[in-house]
Structure 1
């Protein structure tokens, strides 16, 4: 038995049994040796032999028995007892003394917080990280609750506001100061989330609770338990994948520009080893020249229109860049390949709940769908392993414009992405990563866009708590519009404040046959300008109405 590989309690029990057993055995042997081999000893009590054995093993002394140790047999056994005592000491140091010392000096993890008017996050680390990064950027107080001590210790060392405890227990939520919290977010698993909701409502019936469900059928149970908002994570993931598989924003914006110019529009993937990672858009040298402008970005299933210059560029972002063609070539940016044309046919690999959601969204958009899964019991168009070329031989691949990978295994998806890169290099591949750590692997394997369930869940929940302007999600949709605004001529974009008035964002201006992409708030609208704006359909309609009949205070005199 390897006693050093067990828990401290198990080691203690084993060592105690070994020590007591050794004392009993040695007492019996010692007693017998004295009576058998020592002629001067005719009788001896067992308790006296026990005392001498304990004294010898613990090296406390030999007492008055040394005169009785005259024979080789007894002396050899006394030597054995001494060596055994020393061995037990050396055994006990690594087994007990060292672990106990480590426990004594080990940094204590936080178990409570004094935060007030804060958000309590009960989730796994991947989605929790998305949330606390958003809250820290917005200066919103929060506390992250996790039941793994080592995870809490590591996060605390990285200055994350975290406490250790089981969030399903009342005492943990009390330690998270739920009495003064404004919102509780729970995104662990469907059953655990239900327990957390009930515990939170028991303590604070009025607290706002946002929960996440993987199984949409569980949503009503969370609402019954007391959740104010329930995020159907897998459904949103499927909608996002369907949206990205059929939406190429660079093409949409390019089609909205009618002037002839040297300006190009492209989507750029920020790779993990890119020098852009960690810089703000403002500080990135490639965008600091003024000849390249970031007018939007894809990140974790959300499209942000005209991101703020202070926005930090992160790995796996897709930036929508407008700028001079020569400058784009000079900067050696790596554009996401454009689709061959309009997306009219999509292959869905994996037919679980997310795959079925993607199918429903695409069919709603009038797109032909081919479903593939290895499980013969599922009602798919093709049965087979999509990581094998023979499965694709069953399909007319020439008709496929895009592929969506939603398998349950990341390794299989990476293998499939590699196969598609070789088999169908012109086809756009959108993929779901089950583990966020595998996102970069799928990009490296050839996928054009990758989403993971934990990150998109965190992003959607963060948007519920911190609504972000200029955000496009699968729930809102978007379109570009070309708007003339002669009645606003002479006014600056800051004075007009189109975003606040209409929820649209101006991303470019056509003026005298040229395209201006550096849309500064101080820019004055000219009578013949054409504003290129983005927003959902209702916002574009509102913008047209606003420019046709602006408030009198804004109208050209």
Structure 2
């Protein structure tokens, strides 16, 4: 039995078109029977002078409407009662036909109902048109965030399957205005499209119906951004470029800030949970990195999604990265104590190999620091790679000096090639850090088994990015990096570090203080006005901090 709490937040607008039709039909039928019963009671009392009980009246009304008989009260003597009973007889026939069409026939039809009838009332929702990636991945993300949506699917069978599975999907052509109208494009807030060469047609048709519509478009190339902006796309995202940049960022060491005392530095480090780590399945709040008295958990990367101050109940997986801040020595000690967690390197990766020099590989190369020694590998002579050859062959990887590299970024287009490249690289260079991109989300697990340390799936990243855009937030934005600043502690004077951290729910957190040439990060440390504080957060959060709190 369902609890009352199961119905909290329910609204009639959540019903599909068919559910609303059945509700209206049932309500109308009950109202008709009640009305006939009341009129019959009065008629028998006043016109026929034969009073009946309520139950006798209901029995006569139902018997008459269903044409199973006309009740033991027949015949009636007054013209009005005979006319009234005739009306009940006719209405019973009509109700029978309606019942047959609304309830009976649809149950036995081989083809499903019109998919539009399964849509709930839409307003301020998301319309997904021409999405050519893993549709269910995106729809699951939207439903997890409780974002209303309608998917317009070109393929009729796929649309039926998704609708049968409970998704808000219809079959149609997103380039056709009538099909966009079926998805209530006029009341929508956001259009998500991934229609390739059809993107311009889809966007222009949608904007014709709703000029206030925001548009997020996925594109295969950065060269199309200007054209897409010209037709009204608010944000165009090339996933391969985005992921390539992120993988490159993972191959560099985060920032360190010097205090006045040498050897006592405040640092921000990303601690990667590697495959086979005993931290797999451990809650963030129970990890040694989160419980250390001198360290502050600033953020975490979970499958490419940046979460500032992650939930203590979040479980760590081999693809998790915890961003911690505190004295460098404390970070190194904790990282070395945990088997399966890669100890942070003492410097940036000096030699980085990139396998695959498409848009993603070029983006990764361009995102690396100028002082990094980068070797690119591609099979095509026209790509301009340093080493031309098959990245799955040991001779090619050896020609790129993989054994001497500290990291390998795999951005090849084919998942099968990526998996073989990872396995080959791991066999040749056991200590190299392998960061890879796959297309299919399901291949991420296989990539870990092949030997990758960090994997991003195009399907999942696109789905989460689109869902976050619909929800009003950003994920995995390459310009949204973690920063550490040192500033005056006066706004926090008189409070402990733990109290300040508990209140810092704005994307930044206070890591520690500098006092008399020493760094203090313990939670019970009380902040004095003459201290300096170290504040960590995203670029946007730090800018907001400097404009508000930092200017006080």
Q: What is the CA distance between 1:490 and its match in structure 2? A: 2.2
SS for the counterpart of 2:409 is strand
Return the alpha-carbon distance in structure 1 between the equivalents of residues 176 and 491 of structure 2.
62
Change (3 A) 1:345 1:452: same
The aligned counterpart of 1:209 is 215
What do the CA deviations read for 1:502-550 (whole angstroms, capped 9, x no partner)?
x53335678998865779xxx9745577644323567547646766652
Q: What is the CA distance between 1:179 and its match in structure 2? A: 1.7
1:307 aligns with 2:313: no
Q: What is the CA distance between 1:184 and its match in structure 2? A: 0.9
The aligned counterpart of 1:234 is 240
Taking the TM superposition and a 5 Å limit, the aligned residue runs for 1:338-487 are 338-339=344-345, 341-362=347-368, 365-397=370-402, 399-468=404-473, 473-483=477-487, 485-487=489-491
The aligned counterpart of 1:60 is none
The aligned counterpart of 2:87 is none
Return the alpha-carbon distance in structure 1 between the equivalents of residues 383 and 480 of structure 2.
31
SS for the counterpart of 1:195 is helix
The aligned counterpart of 1:191 is 197
Return the alpha-carbon distance in structure 2 between the equivalents of residues 174 and 129 of structure 1.
23
SS for the counterpart of 1:393 is helix
Q: What is the CA distance between 1:311 and its match in structure 2? A: 5.6
The aligned counterpart of 1:122 is 129
Contact 1:254–1:265 (CA<8 Å) still a contact in 2? no
The aligned counterpart of 1:143 is 150
Contact 2:403–2:432 (CA<8 Å) still a contact in 1? no
Q: Could you tell me which of 296, 299, 302 is aligned with 2:299?
A: 296
Contact 1:119–1:181 (CA<8 Å) still a contact in 2? yes
Return the alpha-carbon distance in structure 1 between the equivalents of residues 241 and 321 of structure 2.
22
Q: What is the CA distance between 1:341 and its match in structure 2? A: 3.4
Aligned length: 436
Contact 1:351–1:406 (CA<8 Å) still a contact in 2? yes
1:179 aligns with 2:186: yes
Question: Normalized against structure 2, the TM-score is what?
Answer: 0.64
Q: Could you tell me which of 207, 213, 221 is aligned with 2:227?
A: 221
Q: Could you tell me which of 528, 534, 537 is aligned with 1:535?
A: 537
Contact 2:273–2:317 (CA<8 Å) still a contact in 1? no
- Structure 2: segments with no counterpart, 5+ residues: 1-105
Change (3 A) 1:129 1:365: farther
Q: What is the CA distance between 1:173 and its match in structure 2? A: 1.5
Pair member with larger Rg: 1
SS for the counterpart of 1:307 is coil
Q: What is the CA distance between 1:213 and its match in structure 2? A: 0.9
Q: What is the CA distance between 1:181 and its match in structure 2? A: 0.9
Change (3 A) 1:152 1:332: farther
SS for the counterpart of 1:436 is coil
Root-mean-square deviation (CA, aligned residues, Å) is 4.5
SS for the counterpart of 2:435 is strand
The aligned counterpart of 2:18 is none
